[in-house]
Amino acid sequence: SIASADMDLNQLDAFLTAQTKKQGGITSDQAAVIAKFWKNHRTSIHESLINQSRWDNVLKNMNWRVDLKSQLRHIDQINTPVAIVEMEVGKSGQ
C-alpha cells in the first residue's frame, strides 16, 4: 500500500499509525522500522515499480503536421485540415 500510493512522510505516518491501532495490526517498533526503510529506499522502490509496469516498447521520436487541402473535386472539402502523425517506437535502452 505504501509503495503503490508513493506516500510522502505525512501520509506514511498516518498510515502506520492506523496500522498500529488496528486489531492484529503492527507494533510501534515495526512501524518505526517500516518508516525508516521507506524513508531510505522510497526513490529506488518507486523507480522499480515504474520499470516493472512499463511496456517493452518506448516512444523514441514523434513528428506531426497539419495539412490543408487546396485542390479537390468538391469545393466544400477545400481547407479541410488533416493531421499527420508519425511515431517511432523502439525497445527500451536501444
Residue-by-residue DSSP string for 45-64? HHHHHHHHHS-SEEEEEEEE
Take residue 52 and report the three cell numbers written for it: 516493472
Give the integer Cα–Cα distance in Å for 25 and 89: 46
In the chain, where the domains are located: 3-53, 58-90
| pLDDT tens by residue, the chain, 94 residues | 898 888 999 999 999 999 999 998 899 999 999 999 999 999 999 888 887 777 777 888 899 999 877 776 777 667 778 889 999 888 766 6
Ramachandran quadrant class, 79 (left: phi over 0; alpha: psi -120 to 50; beta: rest): left
Question: How much is the pLDDT for 33?
Answer: 95
